[in-house]
Structure 1
Amino acid sequence: MAATRMEVLKLYKQLLRESLKFSSYNFREYAVMRVKDAFRENKNVTDITAVQKQLVKGYTNLAIIKRQVIVGNMFEPQKLVIEKQTS
């Protein structure tokens, strides 16, 4: 069970790290919010098979986020007013 817990934490960190790479503020905030909400919803799952299913789903979503970050960075959006302006 400890290996599974470490794997879940590793996936969580990877998802958050990758979500923060979105160039669009709205996509970035939404992705981070969804990652946190999904892990919060499933924090009480203890069945090993259910945990494994969620891990597979998480790794699939990680691959999707990685692809979307690449595509999103191809088309750099303008900064929003609420974002920090870099000069």
Structure 2
Amino acid sequence: MACGQNSMLKLYRNLLRESKKWCNYNYREFALRKIRHEFRKNKIIEDPTKIQDCYVKGLQSLETIKRQVIIGNLYKTNKLVIEMDKA
């Protein structure tokens, strides 16, 4: 399984894209913060085996997010005040 720079960037973009699909503001913002934090924290890793482990963990997280987005969107709630347009 390739885990070069291009595949890591693709994984990062896919994680962000899927997280933005959440209807619930709190879940969406938490996931976005967590993804950004983890990628920044692991940016300094140079060991190929650790990079591979992080990549696999990221793929698992992506699948989890996809499932949770589907389940979460089945039970939509009203938008929070913070989400309302200020137009």
TM-score (norm 2): 0.92
Shift of 1:84: 2.5
Tell me if 1:33 matches 2:33. Answer: yes
Q: How many residues align?
A: 83
Amino acid at match of 1:53: D
Q: RMSD of the TM alignment (CA)?
A: 1.0
Stretches of structure 2 that go unaligned for 5 or more consecutive residues are none
Runs of 4+ in 1 over 3 A off after TM superposition: none
Deviations 1:10-41 (A, max 9, x none): 00000000000000011100000000000011
What is the rounded CA distance, in whole Å, between the counterparts of 1:58 and 1:28 in structure 2? 17
What is the rounded CA distance, in whole Å, between the counterparts of 1:13 and 1:46 in structure 2? 21
Stretches of structure 1 that go unaligned for 5 or more consecutive residues are none
Q: Give the aligned partner of residue 80 of structure 1.
A: 80
